[in-house]
Structure 1
Amino acid sequence: MPSLPEDWYRGAAWLQLLRPLSALYQWLAARRRLRHSAQQHAGSKPVIVVGNITVGGTGKTPVVIALAKWLEARGFRVAVLSRGYGASPPTLPYLVEADCGPEQCGDEIAMMRRHLSGVIMIDPDRRRALDALELRDDCDIVVSDDGLQHYRLRRDIEWVVIDGARGLGNGYCLPAGPLREPVERLLDADQILVNGNWQADRTQQESGLGQVTEKITHFELQPGDWVNVKNGERLDLETGVKRFTEQSASGDGIQAIAGIGNPQRFFNTLNSLELSVETRAFSDHYPYQAEDLSTWQQQTLLMTEKDAVKCQAFAGDEWWYLHVVASVPETVQETLLAQLNILLADSKNGQA
């Protein structure tokens, strides 16, 4: 039988029975937003929140990494704050060091730490993490990984990321649909980034989303190189595809796993590369153990980087992850730069 998320995105009729609960959820969410927003306080550093309004993965983490690296390349000192889903740090807020493993800081943060040189701080209480960052002199801008609905967290700029393959489902709030907040919440966002394609007719169908079409920009998760999970060896995209295709043609089956918010997106990427693979989806943030994947210890196994950070300790020789990069359009970047220059100038004038 289809799962509840599958029903959300295929528009199952029985979900109409949950509409009263969705109305109650939406009312409570609005009251919570009003109450917690009143607790925000002024600060000295611009805060960019990158989040979503749907349950499940949208490609948000690669966007955060790309955004932070883009800002670093322009001379800004960037700090990333996050809840740190699945983390078990010794203290809170917790400053993530270079050798932090996924069991301590969470899989997504362990992946970010590989790519970013600046400060990364985790705490389920994002406002507390921001307060700690405000006291530091080694960051100019704070990027919040998720936290769109964490309204005690002050924010100056909001980016909302949407999975173009799934959109907003049936347009209803939980539990009748996948939305954490109603579609109208998008009116408040500075930028709406759609991961992949989104059909124009669907845009008009989904609860008045046409009102915010001028804020919508499409981006892609571009496949990069293949990285060996065990030893870090790298293969360029074409070389890796050729290698795996030859293995498949010789009778060696190729497996692919994904424990992310939307596993099918990764499997679709492999299909677009014309790789013939057998797939298995795991739940988001799945805590892999060696026995989970022991069947494929001697086989070629493909996975996402988020999976790989949890599998390195027991990886087989032919386990590879596909590194992907969020290709955010230059127009979005330049708009952000203009916003930040205004915020930083205002902050400087306020301190004068």
Structure 2
Amino acid sequence: MSSESRRGLAALIERNWYRPALYNLWLLPLNWLFVVVAVLRRIYYAVFPPKAVSVPVVVVGNINVGGTGKTPLITWLVERAMQLNMRVGVVSRGYGGKSEQYPLEVTADTDVSLCGDEPRLLANRTGCTVVVDPQRRRAVEYLQGKVDIIFSDDGLQHYAMPRVAELVVVDGERRFGNGWTLPVGPLREPRARLQTVDAVLVNGEDFVLEPLSLRRGDTNEQADLLALEGKKVHAVAGIGHPARFFTTLRQLGMELIEHPFNDHHEFKPEDLDFGDGLPVVMTEKDWVKCRAFAAANSWYLPVGAVLTKSARHTLDKLLLTWGEKRNG
């Protein structure tokens, strides 16, 4: 099977995640294998739990494949913890990046090709210490003694990493798809896993994502949010759920030509060259990969999480509790 055929098959399977499970039932044997492996891993780490570390680790993850709004929520948590006078660190697998040496601390000079797009975004936005390592536990150990609390960007299923608390983020639009685990459905773990976590936050109910500003891709200069109102633009999104970003742009009055890419797409200059001079508007997560070659007609839209009063109260209470904990 050619690479193009494999991509097409993968795209079909993913579309079927949000249709009745019947469409993917031919994958049932693989689903059984996936469930068995997942259960055995849970049993193993229940019997042989990871060695404790001296700093509290809070996992912010999901049980779904694909975007849920997790990164903006982590940004909120980091900024709120800093307001509470905590020294904050973030650990990440660094998906999409490849470094010759780990753990890798993300600095102003770290190329996104080494650390991945989400760690670069978090470092840019929060200024906290972000450490990348495919073995998250190593990143946690690197931060011991340097911070008061660590947030793990994803890693809910990375049971080798100790944690004091778990937050799960759910996409309020797509929810859990057909409700099945991989590969029949989009779930990494059964929905019953939600009963074991500290809090479940639904994007669209417990918090919403709101645009913060419209910025030029080449100069980072801020413009009015409605600067492109009524204009036709090329909308570019290499995120887990591009439709949400496109909806936001429409709400800002833009007329869209949509260009969805796979999550963590490795952009090249030609991906943003549509030959017509129209503005190109992308997500901040995509811009961190494109800023080196961003053209004068390019823009990006940072978004932030706005929490309900109830969700904010819950997280404030838990943050203060976590900040006092020590994992051993």
Global fold match (TM > 0.5): yes
User: Cα distance 1:260–1:296, how it changes in 2: closer, same or farther (>3 A)?
Assistant: farther
User: Cα distance 1:94–1:221, how it changes in 2: closer, same or farther (>3 A)?
Assistant: same
Cα offset, 1:69, TM superposition: 0.7
Provide the aligned C-alpha RMSD in A. Answer: 2.0
Cα offset, 1:329, TM superposition: 3.0
User: Cα distance 1:256–1:340, how it changes in 2: closer, same or farther (>3 A)?
Assistant: closer
Check whether the contact 1:86–1:106 (CA below 8 A) recurs between aligned residues: yes
1:105 has 2:115 as partner: yes
1:87 has 2:75 as partner: no
User: Cα distance 1:9–1:126, how it changes in 2: closer, same or farther (>3 A)?
Assistant: same
1:187 has 2:187 as partner: no
1:38-59 C-alpha deviation (Å, 9 max, x unpaired): 2412222111100010111111
Moved more, 75-84 or 273-282: 273-282
SS at structure 2 position matched to 1:313: helix
Counterparts of 1:181-220 in structure 2, within 5 Å, are 181-196=189-204, 218-220=206-208
User: Cα distance 1:254–1:346, how it changes in 2: closer, same or farther (>3 A)?
Assistant: closer
Equivalents in 2 of 1:61, 1:132: separation in Å? 22
Cα offset, 1:128, TM superposition: 1.3
Q: In percent, how many aligned pairs have the same letter? A: 41
2:252 corresponds, among 273, 294, 315, to 273
Which consecutive unaligned segments of at least 5 residues does structure 1 have?
Answer: 198-217
User: Cα distance 1:270–1:346, how it changes in 2: closer, same or farther (>3 A)?
Assistant: closer
Equivalents in 2 of 1:51, 1:343: separation in Å? 17
TM-score normalised per structure 2? 0.91
SS at structure 2 position matched to 1:278: strand
Cα offset, 1:314, TM superposition: 1.5
Letter of the aligned partner of 1:5 in structure 2? E
SS at structure 1 position matched to 2:274: helix
Higher relative contact order, chain-length normalized (CA < 8 Å, sep 6+):
2
Which consecutive unaligned segments of at least 5 residues does structure 2 have?
Answer: 1-7
Give the corresponding residue for 1:176.
Answer: 184
1:140 has 2:128 as partner: no
SS at structure 2 position matched to 1:79: strand
User: Cα distance 1:81–1:297, how it changes in 2: closer, same or farther (>3 A)?
Assistant: farther
User: Cα distance 1:274–1:11, how it changes in 2: closer, same or farther (>3 A)?
Assistant: farther
Check whether the contact 2:27–2:184 (CA below 8 A) recurs between aligned residues: yes
Check whether the contact 1:297–1:315 (CA below 8 A) recurs between aligned residues: no
Give the corresponding residue for 1:322.
Answer: 301
1:299-320 C-alpha deviation (Å, 9 max, x unpaired): 2001100111111121111211
Check whether the contact 2:225–2:252 (CA below 8 A) recurs between aligned residues: no
Aligned length: 318
Give the corresponding residue for 2:174.
Answer: 166
Counterparts of 1:1-352 in structure 2, within 5 Å, are 3-11=12-20, 13-37=22-46, 38-134=48-144, 136=145, 138-196=146-204, 218-238=206-226, 240-242=227-229, 245=230, 248=231, 253-296=232-275, 298-345=277-324, 347=326
User: Cα distance 1:33–1:74, how it changes in 2: closer, same or farther (>3 A)?
Assistant: same
1:82-138 C-alpha deviation (Å, 9 max, x unpaired): 00111122311111112222112111111111112221111010111112212x3x3
